[in-house]
Amino acid sequence: MTHAALSNEDWDGIVDRLGGAERLEVGARETKALVRARVIANAVDLLRLVLAYCLGDRGLRSTAAWASSVGLADISNVALLYRLQRCGDWLASLVGQALTSTAPRAARGRLIRLIDGTAVPKKGASAHKRNELWRIHSAFDLPAERFGHFELTDEKGGERVDRIPVVKGEIRIADRAYLQPDRMAGVLDEGGDLLVRAGWKNARWLDHEEAPVDLLAVFRQAAASGLIDQPIWIGRTQGPPLALRLVAIKKSEQAAEAARRKARRQAQREGYQVSEGTLIAASWVILVTSLAVEDFSTADILALYRLRWRIELAFKRLKSVIGLRGPPGGDPRSAKPYILTHLLIILLLEPIVDQFEDSPHWPIAA
């Protein structure tokens, strides 16, 4: 996207989709992104200026010159950087407004938190040589429809299911990277519930007597129905096993075959023989949850997990469509608004779909 792209009639449409000029003004002032309307007259102009810098190919100095040439603002590059650094919370709220959705009926009015992360490289040859990056940790809250948590770390900041403070009663939804039994126990102890995707080999599956459970045998027994919903326990390195619920659904044959091809290619690249178990498990989407079956049906659990793909899709489209790169400079105060701006624009320009990659069409219970 170029500066010129912000000057056409589509700009009015973007403002309208964000609630209009008045709502933008209120949000900018509440988050202190805009305190006094001096150099920059209003929140609409501030947003246009920030988008022009973050989404364009020019640096701070060139963007400031462009703003002056079109009569947007007579601002220096230093002042522009200062304004950008103050926009993080405001942009986070705008991203939340853009990713609108309604909580599924299964939530029963509870807070839903979609946990996910991505990474972009840091700027500079030395950082590239050392594989340094910005890791983006986020939680998108429903039904408030905004980011409730957004954190930047370097490459040493790992993905953790308990990184974000727990709101009592929340339902925390995450992908298989967050299947961390000891950390999951902490979320449960703080009063949250969990819905996490799992791989068949990345957990110690147990029954109520703490005896090993053969997950492949469970898959074979459920092959005809294509649906599993039963109690399960997961072993921990510290403390007693977690008492959870195993919910699994068989993928469509097309999605299952794609997953098997992926497993075979990975085995070939890394020089090992893919196991029969991996090929069997590739046909299933495996979930574990602490939500009680009395309150949340199997269909409810599947509907809840389907929401997670919205934020996953937004992150992927950031890189493939909008072209998010490593933020210029190494200051987290400017890196955060830079990344948030890209997330905001992809949500405005790309329609959000319900499914992505190997997410199957879930059956709808009567």
Same domain, 289 and 333: no
Same domain, 90 and 103: no
Same domain, 168 and 67: no
State the chain's mean pLDDT as an integer.
82
CA distance 217 to 237: 25
Q: Is residue 105 part of a domain?
A: yes
Same domain, 168 and 305: yes
- Residue 327: the pLDDT is 76
Higher pLDDT, 249 or 348: 249
Q: Is residue 245 part of a domain?
A: yes
Q: Is residue 165 part of a domain?
A: yes
- Residue 221: the pLDDT is 94
Same domain, 247 and 205: yes
Same domain, 31 and 175: no
Same domain, 113 and 80: no
pLDDT digits (tens, 9 = 90+) for 175-219: 999 999 999 999 999 999 999 999 998 899 999 999 999 999 999
- Residue 308: the pLDDT is 84
Same domain, 105 and 162: yes
- Residue 144: the pLDDT is 62
For the ranges 58-62, 238-242, 306-310, 359-363, the lowest mean pLDDT is seen at 359-363
Q: 284, 248 in Cβ contact below 8 A? A: yes
CA distance 188 to 141: 18
Q: Is residue 364 part of a domain?
A: no
* pLDDT surpassing 70 at residue 27: yes
CA distance 259 to 143: 32
pLDDT category, 364, cuts 50, 70, 90?
very low
pLDDT digits (tens, 9 = 90+) for 233-247: 999 998 999 999 999
Same domain, 172 and 73: no
Q: Is residue 361 part of a domain?
A: no
Q: Is residue 318 part of a domain?
A: no
Same domain, 109 and 243: yes
Q: Is residue 365 part of a domain?
A: no
CA-nearest of 307, 306, 311, 322 to 95 is 311
Half-sphere exposure of 34 (CA within 13 A, CB side): 22
Same domain, 51 and 65: yes
pTM of the predicted model as reported, rounded to 2 decimal places: 0.65
Higher pLDDT, 310 or 256: 256
Q: What's the angle, vertex CA 251, arms to CA 203 and CA 352, rounded to 5?
A: 95
Q: Is residue 360 part of a domain?
A: no
For the ranges 114-128, 298-312, 337-351, the lowest mean pLDDT is seen at 337-351
* pLDDT surpassing 70 at residue 224: yes
For residues 104-111, average pLDDT: 65
Domain count, the chain: 2
Residues facing residue 114 across a β-bridge: 140, 173
DSSP summary character for residue 318? I
Same domain, 67 and 170: no
Domain extent, residue 46, equals: 4-97+327-349
- Residue 140: the pLDDT is 79
Indicate the residue type of 280. I
